A and B are shown apart, each in its own frame.
Chain A
């Protein structure tokens, strides 16, 4: 079995690994609540990761990198919006297309800029998001149980992790307590009613897609400038899809998204600790099975424990105004 210190370590990396999933999951939440499916979270994250890694490396400023990541992700979001809102195209196919586009373009651009086989140079110092020590973390470390939880688990993450956590109540507030949120949910359930009330369906959906773009930008920038020190090809490794699975598991709710992404983050953290998994399971487990573990557990969660997940009713359907 594992001891308390190991558990804290694993939960610490859970939080670290759940951050991009949470940001992407909230991104997907805004889009899907407005009735736009987005398989392209993956591509937007990848694009943002490359843009932020590249700009941070060139300018030495992680904040400029973050800005570039958001812009790059917004560009893809705009394309998805044009295809699925304006031209009423197939939203799944548009998302898949943008993922391929991102997969190729990121390598092309990174290779052109740096000539290092499609990766960006390693980042350090001010060109990277560094861990933040929360107040009094060192003083309380020796308090039993709560001390390590505060000092080693909650403290010592980058600012984007805390932003991601704060975005959960913020999203809940926007979605359930503001006029914009009410309209956003309505446009995903019954766009015709929203239209009848004289509110622009197209405008709302573009707004939702733009928010998705910004949040995916944060997620991608986190990948390249906080979780890792630079961009590498295909570095998102299916996180966009896992975030979508988490979104279904969360039944399209903000707090659910937090718990679901923490669960998937935990799976990823376990995959990084073969010693612990083997200690608990009591048998030797091949590395490749551990690599596949997050994906296998994702399928299991989707298949077994979701219960009846009812997506927004108008999801995936382009809105056609009747004449």
Chain B
């Protein structure tokens, strides 16, 4: 097969995949008797048409950056971490325990401590599947999926039987003390010029941007990152070069779980300010689509997370203003994963024909 120019591979392949996914989604909307043009209009207006809409879009984006980075870093070691959802839920538990533990004096201190709690709990939840993969060869895809189910049962147990305050009906923790409340974008100087109403997007967005840079630096500027990537390309070659597979699998999955867990400082600490059931709302799974769409590069993850932030906020607006069920988001998510992750060769082949057609001398 012809090799595509690099820019085409990096830019055109995801874009064309996206066009395919959007096209089929439009057909799905038509099939359930709704108007795709109107749907797109509602989505764009609701998600991007006002600073208020952007506040929600960026809020979702923040979560997806973390889960996308989590999947990305595992992908570089050839590990498919489908457990981001469970790891993020456990991260939420870590955040809740930290926030409720002390009367925190200031949000900066609380943010540091809660981040640590979120990362530790997320990493711990990834540690068991990682160990089982590294030592016992239990397939990490199946164990991480099982751990998602176990996580949601564990959270239900913690909320119903342990953390629920006496006399409260709904399964949730108490509200976090005010010292832990993170500033939303409308309270941050500079951003407050754009965001005049209270929005859910908060200072965690900046943490997420920093995480992008850190993951990039780790993967491409450190020895560990090199080892992770070498292991992902060829386990036997890495082994021959003296790289310890057990160590790489463990470290990569711990980092991956920690990143997924960190997402919960956005939704649990920054938005709901208490831990509720299903706090992640599927963001852990979105990470898969974000990583694939972003071509496993932190900058790509940022762009893809923006796209999915738009899709999520837009999808919520669809649920509000039209009779299109909110589950359309999951359909689009599945289509994006299908085209960018599994049918990417098809897209490449089509582009290959196109390029040959354009420049006959290459034939």
Residues of A within 8 A of B (CB): 39, 79, 82-84, 87-94, 96-105, 107-109, 111-112, 118, 237-238, 241, 244-245, 248, 286, 288-289, 291-292, 295-296, 298-299, 302-304, 306, 308-309
Check A105–B292 contact: CB distance below 8 A.
Answer: no
User: Does B177 belong to the interface (CB within 8 Å)?
Assistant: no
- What A residues does B335 contact at CB under 8 A? 97, 101
Select A248's contact among B142, B157, B325, beta carbons within 8 Å. Answer: B142
Near A by CB (< 8 A), chain B positions 252-308 give 285, 288, 292
A-B contact count (CB 8 A): 152
Q: Please measure, in the bound complex, the distance between the C-alpha atom of A111 and the C-alpha atom of B312, giving whole angstroms.
A: 20
Given known contacts A104-B333, A295-B146, A303-B132, is B161 in contact with A90 (CB within 8 Å)? no
Task: Name the residue on B nearest A293 (C-beta).
Answer: B153
Closest to B330 in A: A104
User: Measured between C-beta atoms, what is the minimum distance from B70 to chain A in Å?
Assistant: 15
The 4 closest A-B pairs by CB, nearest first: A100-B334, A104-B330, A101-B334, A94-B342
Main secondary structure of the interface of A (DSSP, over half): helix
B146 to chain A, nearest CB (A): 5
User: Binary interface profile of B, 116-138, with partner A (CB < 8 Å = 1, else 0)?
Assistant: 00000000000010001000111
A90 touches B153 (CB 8 A): no
Asked whether B146 lies within 8 Å of A299 as measured between CB atoms, the reply is yes
Chain B residues with CB under 8 Å of chain A are 28, 32-33, 80, 82, 128, 132, 136-139, 141-143, 145-147, 149-150, 153-154, 156-157, 160-161, 285, 288, 292, 324-325, 327-335, 337-338, 341-346, 349
**Partner among A93, A103, A107, A299 whose Cβ is within 8 Å of the Cβ of B147:** A299
**Which B-chain residue is minimally distant from A83 (CB atoms)?**
B342
Residue in contact with B145 in the complex, picked from A79, A109, A241, CB distance below 8 Å: A241
A118 lies within 8 A of B342 (CB): no
Chain B nearest CB, measured from A137 CB (Å): 36
A92 and B80 within 8 A (CB): yes
Contact A289 B341 (CB under 8 A): no
Chain A contacts for B156, CB-based, 8 A: 288, 291
Do the beta carbons of B154 and A94 come within 8 Å of each other?
Answer: no
Residues of A within 8 A of B32 (CB): 108-109, 111-112
Least CB distance from B3 to A in Å reads 16
Nearest CB in chain B to that of A298: its residue: B146
Taking a contact as CB atoms under 8 Å apart, the answer to whether A303 and B138 are in contact is yes
B129 and chain A: residue at smallest CB distance: A299
A to B CB contacts below 8 Å, 20 in the list: A87-B342, A90-B342, A94-B338, A94-B343, A97-B335, A97-B337, A101-B330, A101-B331, A104-B330, A104-B332, A108-B328, A109-B32, A241-B146, A244-B142, A245-B142, A288-B154, A288-B160, A303-B143, A304-B136, A306-B138
State the CA gap A118–B330 with chains docked (Å).
14
Contacts of B80 in A (CB 8 A): 92-93
Instruction: Give the CA-CA distance A108 to B324 in the complex, in Å.
Output: 8
Partner of B325, one of A87, A108, A299: A108
- Chain B residues near A245 (CB-CB < 8 A): 142, 146
Known A-B contacts A39-B141, A104-B327, A108-B325; A292 and B344 likewise in contact (beta carbons under 8 Å)? no
